[in-house]
Structure 1
Amino acid sequence: MDTETKKIFGKQFKKNRYHIFNIICPVASVLLAFLAGGLMLLLLKINPLVVYGRMIVASFGDPYNLAEMLVKAAPLLLTGLSFAFAFKAGLFNIGADGQFYLGALGAVFVSLKLGFLNPWLLLPLALLASIIMGGLFGGLSGYLKARFNANEIITTIMMNYVAFGLTNYVVNGPLKEKAGAYPQTDPIPAQAQLPLLISDTRLHWGFILALFCAVIFYFIITRTSIGFQVRAVGLNRRTAEYAGINTKRVLVLAMVFSGIFAGIAGFGEINGVQHILIQGFAPNVGTIGTVIALLANANPLGIVIGSLFFGFLQVGANLISQTSQVPQNAIDMIQGFVVIFVLISYYIQYRVNAHQKIRQLKGAL
């Protein structure tokens, strides 16, 4: 084997080594989270192997619980895509919760006000309202970043509270239920509800919509000019600008698409699961979606798998707390450990990948 061939194989080996490393890190994060959770259960004098075994059997051994995992995974998948799209452009969208709430608000408004329409017309209009509300809300943060270079982490967090406050106002005022007893809207009409995929479960067509959005995400990022521009800006904004890319436009569009995905999650939750908008419903959907996106390194297939995993954790935690003496908080700790180890994993991946780029640049000089 000549020297040139050895160099080619050496470069390919190093490239594959880093790809493998980026796969191992998320898997290790999950395993360490279960290990840490197991140690905490031992401190409570609870056998972790028994608990984990029951979670698996209860979640996968019953069709209803298996369908419930997919129900829980759908909004997490979409909010994960929401964070990931902005992340591809080098932005941190921490506002998926607010965009999710605005999407839900748009969906319930259209569903209640236009409930007399045929479902073939009503459901697309409700979806369109969610897309518009989520997209505009996300785009506003993108505009503030592009126009004033405002830190998107701060603006999206602040706008979460705007969305929460607006939703609270609506369910306590203009759209409050006719009975006036609770901070919630009236139930949406039957024709505004997404049909079920499997009878006698809560699994609805919103899950298929979420999977379709993952495909759309992949297509936009990898097969379109705007996707190329998003990735170019994410890699190096200044270089992309020198190359003639309108970086400000890209930043706004990235946040618009990010908000759209989160808004669609709101539509699926209202029209597919809740059928009513309640103050403070579905908390932390955006936060968990952010963790899933980091766990998957913003890869759409990884986000699908991560959302299914967290759906399993949520369903398993509910089942274990209802059928045993294990407290709910003990299972919730596992999710907390996942968050901690994912952040550590992301930092390690960032440092290793940065070191790799530096070595590549030195090798090119």
Structure 2
Amino acid sequence: MDKREQRKKLSFTNTQSIFDVLFWTALAIILGLVASFIFLPLLGVNPFYAVSVMFSETFSSTFNMGNILIKTAPLILTGLAFAFTYKANLYNIGAQGQFYAGCICASTVSLSLGGKMPGFVVILFSLIAAVLGGAIIGLIIGFLKAKFNANEFLISMMSTYVIQYVMQLLLRTLLQESKHEYLKTDYLDKSTWLPKILPGTSVSLGIVFSVLTAIIAWYILYRTSMGYRIRVTGLNQDAARMSGIAPRRQYMIAFAISGAMAGLAGLVEVNGMQHMLLTGFDTQIGSYGIGIAILANANPLAVIPAALLFGFLQVGGTALGHASDAPASVIDLLQGFVMLFVLMSFFFRRKIELDRLKKKKVQEGGEVA
């Protein structure tokens, strides 16, 4: 077989693989939504009425459509946080805590410097602080994994509770609002708010930061030597070590970058939407990020449409709750069924790939294991 035929065969194989991923993912999303709507009557909601309300209310105005982008912006970043470490065969379950670390750092800088320096300078410093805050938490997790071979799943998960309690302590002491009545900070100075980019909506520059971060993450993973080392480590740690790659270093790098992206989500939420830091907000953003990364097959660019879907389900689910007697958990029902079917699609796709590989070996005269 000459080189031209080899390239043609490889191109066909890659195209077929991409088609399989898109087909199975799309099918899983459709089946997940259908299954969730079938269960809506158990909550006393007509499924046809639910579909009508979700689409009519969500797309009834520019403001409502803008809410999808507002929900999507931090979801992209927490989805990227899980997807990036997954490429190194690591599991960052603590994006929620790294998100809170970014919130703490961004709000602290904005409250300290707001009104004393030009707004864009304060936003820049807040961005750097949020990214560093999340990166430091991620680096600590990566270090523990690299140094002691600790279970990163448990460490990252437990770190969320630690940071949560630290945030509550700060909201009771150093960061508490001036009247000392509520567990929240004062409002950030308006000069430190992220600029709005779409007229008639509350969509801020945060969505631009999120999309750019997804593009940068893809570029790092697939167009740089650092990303290559991370992916090789994830595919085969022993092979990576024998080829001169230090897996432990890749653990720390992957977790630091992952934490930085989750920390940036803190800036997007605090300076772009909440304009204050308060206790008990966005408690599911980390777990949603895991679902988004799985739905996107851990591809940074695919995280963007996956996060848009979750953003639509959140806004549509909220609209359905306001227009009917459906409980707030209807949002979790919709997203849960989508994720269930996506996970099932991974199983079937893997089985089909293995069967295809066995047939190929038989055709080439090889032995089937």
Per the shorter chain, which TM-score range? Answer: over 0.9
For residues 64-116 of structure 1, what are the alpha-carbon distances to aligned partners after superposition, in whole Å with 9 as ceiling and x for unaligned? Answer: 01101000000000011111111111111111000000001000010111121
Instruction: Report the counterpart of residue 325 of structure 2 in structure 1.
Output: 325
Residue 319 of structure 1 and its aligned partner are, at CA, apart by 1.2
Counterpart of 1:25, as a letter, is W
**Aligned equivalents of 1:361, 1:151: Cα separation in 2:** 37
| Number of the residue aligned with 1:224 | 224
Q: Counterpart in 2 of 1:110?
A: 109
- Shift in Å, 1:349: 4.3
CA offsets 1:231-285 (integer angstroms, 9 cap, x no match): 1111111101100012111110000000010000001000000011111111111
Quote the residue 1:95 is aligned against: 94
**Which segments of 5 or more consecutive residues in structure 2 lack a partner in the other structure?**
none
Contact 1:101 1:266 in 2 (8 A): yes
Give distance in 1, aligned partners of 2:220 and 2:298.
14
Measured in 1, the distance between the counterparts of 2:6 and 2:272 equals: 55
Structure 2 partner of 1:59:
58
Partners of 2:228 and 2:245 in 1: CA distance:
10
CA distance in 1, matches of 2:265, 2:208: 12
CA contact (8 A) 1:60 1:66 kept: yes
- Deviation of 1:354 after TM superposition, in Å, equals 6.6
Alignment CA distance shift 1:353-1:264 (3 Å):
farther
- Map of 1:71 onto structure 2: 70
- Change in Cα spacing, 1:239 to 1:198, as seen in structure 2 (3 Å) is same
For residues 200-255 of structure 1, the C-alpha deviation after alignment (integer angstroms, 9 at most, x for no partner) is 42110011111110111111111111011111111111101100012111110000
Could you tell me how far 1:191 is from its partner in structure 2? Answer: 1.3
Change (3 A) 1:347 1:261: farther
For residues 354 and 213 of structure 1, what CA distance do their matches in structure 2 show?
34
Residues 45 and 325 in structure 2, CA contact (< 8 A), matched pair in contact too: no
| Paired residues for 1:203-214 under 5 Å | 203-214=203-214
User: CA 1:202 to 1:144, structure 2 compared with 1: closer, same or farther past 3 Å?
Assistant: same
Match of 2:17 in 1: 18
TM-score (norm 1): 0.92
2:39 is the counterpart of 1:40: yes
Shift of 1:330: 3.1
Indicate the SS of the match to 1:328: coil
3-state DSSP of counterpart to 1:325: coil
Please identify, of 338-347 and 28-37, the stretch whose mean Cα deviation from structure 2 is larger: 338-347
Deviation, structure 1 residue 6: 9.2
The CA deviation at 1:315 is: 0.7
Counterpart for residue 123 of structure 2? 123
Would you say the 8 A contact 1:291–1:342 is kept in 2? no
What is the TM-score when the length of structure 2 is the normalising length? 0.91
Q: CA deviation at 1:47?
A: 2.6
1:157 corresponds to 2:166: no
2:68·2:315 contact (CA, 8 Å) conserved in 1?
A: yes
Matched ranges for 1:223-242 at <5 A: 223-242=223-242
How many pairs were matched up?
364
Would the aligned equivalents of 1:192 and 1:271 in 2 still touch at CA under 8 Å? yes
Q: CA RMSD in A?
A: 2.6
SS in 2 for 1:73: helix
Whether the aligned pair in 2 keeps the contact of 1:54 and 1:320 (CA below 8 Å) is yes
Cα deviations across residues 26-82 of structure 1 (Å, max 9, x unaligned)?
222211221211211233453312211221122123100110100000000001111
| Cα distance in 2 between the residues matched to 1:275 and 1:348 | 45
TM-aligned CA deviation for residue 149 of structure 1: 1.0
Equivalent residues of 1:30, 1:338 under 8 A apart: yes
Match of 2:48 in 1: 49
Structure 2 residue identity aligned to 1:261? M
User: Kindly tell me: are residues 15 and 277 of structure 1, through their superposed partners in 2, closer, same or farther at Cα, counting changes over 3 Å?
Assistant: same
Distance 1:5 1:223, change over 3 A: closer
The AA in structure 2 aligned to 1:89 is A
Percent sequence identity over aligned pairs: 35
State the distance in 2 between where 1:265 and 1:88 align.
20
Aligned-partner Cα distance in 2 for 1:7–1:167: 57
CA drift at 1:326 = 3.3
Specify the code of the residue in structure 2 equivalent to 1:88.
K
CA contact (8 A) 1:56 1:316 kept: yes
Pick which of 337-346 and 195-204 moved more.
337-346
Q: Provide the rounded CA distance (Å) in 2 between the counterparts of 1:220 and 1:165.
A: 34
Residues in 2 aligned to 1:120 and 1:301: alpha-carbon distance in whole angstroms: 28
Compute the displacement of 1:130 (Å): 0.4
